[in-house]
Amino acid sequence: MSLYYVQKFLYEINRSETVRDQYFADRTGSLASYDLTDEEVRSLVEPDIGMLFHMGVNGQILMHFAPLHGIEWFDYLRLMREGIAEHGPVRAGVYAITGYEGVDNHADNLGQQSHAIDGVPSTTSATEES
């Protein structure tokens, strides 16, 4: 696993038109210089947003990658939730500290009003679902 290089590639494609052009001309080939596993290459080529988030890619990098593929905001959120539901909690990086309890559950735990976004149902705990 080489989360660092997955994120390094995303960092570079987000900020460089040259890297973007290379990626969209030859997705697999554009990744050749990065030390990536087969699973990481597949996730970046498809792209598999849910798996990338499960791997631990920082959302601040991932959310810029998604629009490059025409993925709308709510679909981006949904794909991450589906990735956690399918693969389990985030396995590395800043989000690995805790799982995701969902907006509604978080509000319930704090005795607060939920701020779940309309049209985007909150998920249950990744641990419960996995």
Partner 1 sequence: MPLVYAGVCSHAPGIVGRSDQADPTIRNELYAAFDQMRQGIEATKPDALVVVAAEHFANFFMDNMPSFAIGMANSYTGPIEDTAWLGIDKTKVPGNAELSKRFIKEVMNTSDVAYAEEWQFDHGIMVPLHFLTPNYNLPIIPVNINCQGPPLAPLHRSWAFGESLRAAADALPERIAIVGTGGISHWPATPDSGKINEPWDAEFLDRWCRNDRDALLDYDDTTIYADAGQGGFEIRTFIAISAAAKQAPGTVHFYAPIPIFAVGCTIASYAI
The residue ranges that bind partner 1 (CB under 8 A) are: 4, 7-8, 11, 14-15, 53, 58-64, 67-68, 73, 77, 80-81, 84, 94-95, 97-98, 100-103, 106-107, 110, 112-113, 115-118, 120, 123
Q: Which is nearer to partner 1, 38 or 77 (CB)?
A: 77
Rounded to the nearest whole angstrom, what is the least distance from the CB of residue 41 to partner 1 in the complex?
20
Q: Which is nearer to partner 1, 38 or 48 (CB)?
A: 48
Rounded to the nearest whole angstrom, what is the least distance from the CB of residue 22 to partner 1 in the complex?
18
Give Cα 93 distance to the centre of its chain. 12
Rounded to the nearest whole angstrom, what is the least distance from the CB of residue 14 to partner 1 in the complex?
7
Three-state SS for 80-93 is HHHHHHHHCCCCCC
Structure tokens at 33: 């210089």
- Tell me the C-alpha distance between 121 and 123, whole Å: 6
Structure tokens at 14: 């987000």
Q: Which is nearer to partner 1, 38 or 91 (CB)?
A: 91
Instruction: From residue 88, give the alpha-carbon distance in Å to each of 13, 71, 85, 100.
Output: 27, 22, 6, 10
Q: Which is nearer to partner 1, 41 or 116 (CB)?
A: 116
Angle at 68 between CA 63 and CA 69, to 5 degrees: 100
